[in-house]
Chains A and B, each alone.
Chain A
Amino acid sequence: MTNGISDLTIWVVIVVLGIGTFLIRWSFLGTLGNRKLPDWVLRMLRYTPVAVLPALVAPLVVWPAATGGQPDPARMAAATATVAVGLWTKNMILAILAGAITLFGLLYLL
């Protein structure tokens, strides 16, 4: 190590993080067993993907790391094109293509 962290420290971080992350992922799936979940819980869980995943990427779209956090018209337009084509065609590959073409097109033009 160059900056004073010992190999042991790194391995401790790796192992604890590995176990902790596994337990997070296993939490509900592993412990709930065959018990029926209440209706209101199921109703909320239906919206997990459409809430978590867009919330995960929204800050990356608005404040991209590549531009040092400055909002970037090319990336905004690419995200908009992706969502628009995805909503319209219901096709993931077409949506990716629309986003990629918009991004590289605008980065090239701007």
Chain B
Amino acid sequence: MPQPRTAGRQSLADDGAPFTAGQAFRRGAIKSLPFLVVMIPFALLFGVVALEAGMDVAQVLGFSVLVLAGASQFTAVQLLSDNAPVIIVILSCLAVNLRMAMYSASLVPWLRDATAQQKAWVAYALVDQSYALAIQEYEANPRMDLRHRLAFFAGVVSVVCLPWMVFSWLGATVGRAIPQDIALDFAMPITFLAMIAPMLRTPAHLAACFVAVAGSLAFAGLPSGLGLLIASPLGMATGALVEVWSQRRAQA
């Protein structure tokens, strides 16, 4: 449990206690390090795949800097090399990214007092990893102030977003394929599951997770990203309902 504030100190619930914005930044950066194991090969691979699909280095960098969203970048390259119509490429990729609207909404209670410019920067760098690490930190340390929250986010971004750009550029420049026999495909699922499991604190969280997982498996046959967009709100609604029920039972 967070302790009450004492003499301007920021008390934190778990390991480490960033008292300055710089320390919050470093904490964010350090907590992001495990993601590099996934990020670097994935980014190199994007560079290689895009190059093989006929793009040049500037375009690879254009994707990684302007779009900055791994899954949709691979989708775009895949569809472009299949000669899909441009409108289909764009709509499919935006559908893959639509989940980020839920991240955006979920961060409002934590970052509502940030300036418009700060919010724009957060939005630009709002990827699965930065969202997951930030929300985990904010929920674990509800007393963290806005400056520390933003510094933590910036620390995460420095480790998860910058290497994405650098290594996709490197992949396109070097153009050498990653050894396929290492089971790196599974690094992403494992990191996300490892991050989520400690957040399953209450029956409501477990129920939300269970329904969302069941839904995403049931709707897996739907076109890219659509199943997720149905399953996730179902899970979120389940969590909210179970929370209300638990409160009623506790009061009764």
Contacts and interface: CB of A to CB of B under 8 A. Distances in A.
Do A and B truly interact? yes
Interface of A: 1-5, 7, 9-18, 20-22, 24-30, 32-34, 37, 40-66, 75, 78-79, 82-87, 89-93, 95-96, 99-100, 103-104, 107
B163 to A, nearest CB: 18
B169 interface: no
Interface centre among B126, B216, B238 (most CB of A within 10 A): B216
11 contacts: A21-B72, A29-B119, A33-B112, A49-B131, A50-B209, A51-B235, A52-B103, A57-B192, A61-B189, A66-B186, A89-B198
A18 B205 CA distance: 33
A16 B103 contact: no
A55 B142 CA distance: 26
Interface stretch (B19-27, B90-98, B154-162): B90-98
B251 interface: no
Interface of B: 31, 34, 53-56, 59, 62-63, 66-69, 72, 76, 80-81, 83, 86, 89-90, 93-94, 97-109, 111-113, 116, 119-120, 122-124, 126, 128, 131-132, 135-136, 183, 185-200, 204-205, 208-209, 211-213, 215-217, 220, 227-228, 231-240, 243-244
Contacts, number: 286
Contacts of A59: 216-217, 220, 227
Interface of B is mostly: helix
A79 B190 contact: yes
B239 A21 contact: no
Contact of B244 (A41, A43, A65): A43
Given A60-B189, A103-B190, 5 more contacts: A13-B89, A50-B205, A60-B186, A91-B198, A96-B191
Contact of B236 (A45, A96, A99): A45
A10 B116 CA distance: 31
B76 A55 contact: no
A86 B198 contact: yes
B199 A50 contact: yes
Contacts of B126: 25, 29
Contacts of B80: 5, 9-10, 13
B76 to A, nearest CB: 6
A21 B99 contact: no
Contact of B228 (A7, A52, A78): A52
